[in-house]
Amino acid sequence: MAAEAYQLEDIPGVGPTTAEKLREAGYETVEKIAQSTASELYELAEIGEATARKMIKWCVSQTTDDTETDAGSSDAGADNVPMNAKRLEIEDIPGVGPAIAEKLRDGGFLTIEGIATATSSTLSEAAEIGESTAKKMIKWCREQADIGGFKTGTEVFEARLLIKKLRTLVPEVDELLGGGFETQAITELYGEFGSGKSQIVHQLAVNVQLPEELGGLNGSVIYVDTENTFRPERIEQMVKGLEIEDADPQEFLRNIHVARAQTSDHQMLLIENTHELAEELKKQGKPVKLIIVDSLTGLFRSEYAGRGTLAERQQKLNRHMHDIFKLCDEYNAIGLVTNQVMSNPAVFFGDPTKPIGGNIVGHTATFRIYLRKSKGGKRIFRLVDSPNLPDGEATFLVEEGGLRAC
């Protein structure tokens, strides 16, 4: 039976009253319910989330069946994925009921992919389950999401074709970066105060919202502010500096989601809990494409003083950086972190400036960029470390309208 021929009352568990609520909420057909989310049905049609998920799953199965029937027995993908991994709900995991699913969501695990890339200890703690059970869940999710297996170099190359580049619109800087800041990677900006770290952060928060043909990624921004450096007035100036007709600074500000971190634990929690916001932005058609932490180490540095606390600080920083990387990988976004510096008194010749965080930050960041002030208001943008680009320097200016070429 074609999906169009089904009435809402044909959905298992849906009676006349529920069907009426669905129609009033704008869900007149099985296809519309199949394309909705459990939270939408919960809010608009006043249906419990567990019931909503079952309804959506049934409706999806009907529309999927129709597609497979229309495709006949050809090789048009009928044998590939009868139910896409992204459509699977947490309750579909063997042995997971509503109670455990709720605990997982409270712990920040909203998708199959999120569980597939988790560690058994983290999952065990979040859902209050044994590690052996957690390992089975992770294994099942990895199989569904096709995560964790070996791939050929050709397959990796094809996957890298999905990577996008975000331009600063300063030609010399973009050329140094091979076209711009890269998605699915963490870029670390470090330098002394006034070297331009927050200026670049603000500029990219504007540029990422531009369409791809203008150097942007048509996405939203998640901004974790640890030092009270975010300034909406600066965003307005930079939007005007783009000189794009009908560009509304308020619209750009609406797509920047800022959270002020008070402690290092709060900072880590904000990143851990961004999955829900990221999923919501994805549904709205403005997916998160830039994740900013400004600055990465400020709170850790103030709370963990002395060598006695160094090991604990580094462990937490390591976990925090990997959480950021997982977000970037899952949503094909750019991770952009700023870092404080210190002077090494043992260096008598050359630049004694070195970033905080040691090898933990150095190894986890994909790209490391050192910023410093120069004469005449110029800033030096130096690419210190990259897996595929040569080291080099570029210069830029910071003006009222944003970053400019020298």
The CATH number for 314's domain is 3.40.50.300
> What average pLDDT does the chain have?
85
Q: Are residues 132 and 66 in the same domain?
A: no
pLDDT tens digits, 256-314: 999 999 999 999 999 988 988 998 999 899 999 999 999 999 999 889 887 788 888 88
Q: Are residues 113 and 228 in the same domain?
A: no
Instruction: Calculate mean pLDDT across residues 305-333.
Output: 88
Tokens of residue 283, six digits: 């549904």
Name the residue range of residue 289's domain.
159-404
What burial class does residue 284 get, using C-beta atoms within 10 Å of its C-beta: 0-12 exposed, 13-18 middle, 19+ buried? exposed
Flag whether 287 is in a domain. Answer: yes
Tokens of residue 62, six digits: 């009907």
Q: What are the distances in angstroms from CA 222 to CA 180, 211, 331, 334?
A: 19, 18, 12, 10
Instruction: Calculate mean pLDDT across residues 355-378.
Output: 88
Whole-number percent of the chain with pLDDT over 90 = 47
Flag whether 77 is in a domain. Answer: no
Residue pair 182/194 in contact (Cβ under 8 Å)? The answer is no
Residue of 166, 198, 127 whose CA lies nearest to 288:
166
Q: Could you please report the per-residue DSSP string of 93-119? A: STT--HHHHHHHHHTT--SHHHHHTS-
Beta bridge partners of 341: 355
Flag whether 25 is in a domain. Answer: yes
Element (H, E) at 16: helix 16-24
Beta bridge partners of 361: none
Give residue 70's pLDDT: 44
Q: Which of 10-14, 163-167, 244-248, 312-316 has the highest mean pLDDT?
A: 163-167
Flag whether 140 is in a domain. Answer: yes
Domain closes at, from 25, 46, 71: 71
Flag whether 78 is in a domain. Answer: no
Q: Are residues 209 and 234 in the same domain?
A: yes
Q: Are residues 163 and 110 in the same domain?
A: no
Q: Are residues 140 and 166 in the same domain?
A: no
Q: What is the CATH number of the domain that holds 110?
A: 1.10.150.20
Q: Are residues 121 and 267 in the same domain?
A: no
Distance CA 366, CA 344 (A): 24
Distance CA 254, CA 209 (A): 11
Tokens of residue 36, six digits: 């909705």
Domain closes at, from 123, 145, 167: 145
Sign of torsion, CA 259 327 186 287? negative
Flag whether 150 is in a domain. Answer: no
Flag whether 246 is in a domain. Answer: yes
Give residue 335's pLDDT: 97
Residue pair 63/1 in contact (Cβ under 8 Å)? The answer is no
pTM of the model: 0.68
Q: Are residues 61 and 94 in the same domain?
A: no
Say which residue the tokens 């990796």 belong to. 156
Confidence of residue 6 (pLDDT cuts 50, 70, 90): confident
Q: Are residues 234 and 380 in the same domain?
A: yes
Confidence of residue 3 (pLDDT cuts 50, 70, 90): low
Distance CA 31, CA 356 (A): 53
Q: Are residues 342 and 209 in the same domain?
A: yes
Confidence of residue 102 (pLDDT cuts 50, 70, 90): confident
Question: Given 3-state DSSP classes, what are the helix, strand and coil percentages for the chain, each rounded to the nearest 5?
Answer: 50, 15, 35
Q: Are residues 295 and 378 in the same domain?
A: yes
Distance CA 38, CA 40 (A): 5
Across 183-319, the runs of DSSP E, i.e. the strands, are: 185-191, 220-225, 256-260, 288-294
Instruction: Calculate mean pLDDT across residues 24-44.
Output: 79
Q: Are residues 49 and 131 in the same domain?
A: no
Largest CA distance in the chain: 82
**Number of folded domains in the chain?**
3
pLDDT tens digits, 169-205: 999 999 999 999 999 999 999 999 889 999 999 999 9
Flag whether 154 is in a domain. Answer: no
Domain closes at, from 38, 71, 104: 71
Q: Are residues 352 and 296 in the same domain?
A: yes
Residue pair 346/178 in contact (Cβ under 8 Å)? The answer is no
Tokens of residue 157, six digits: 């190359």
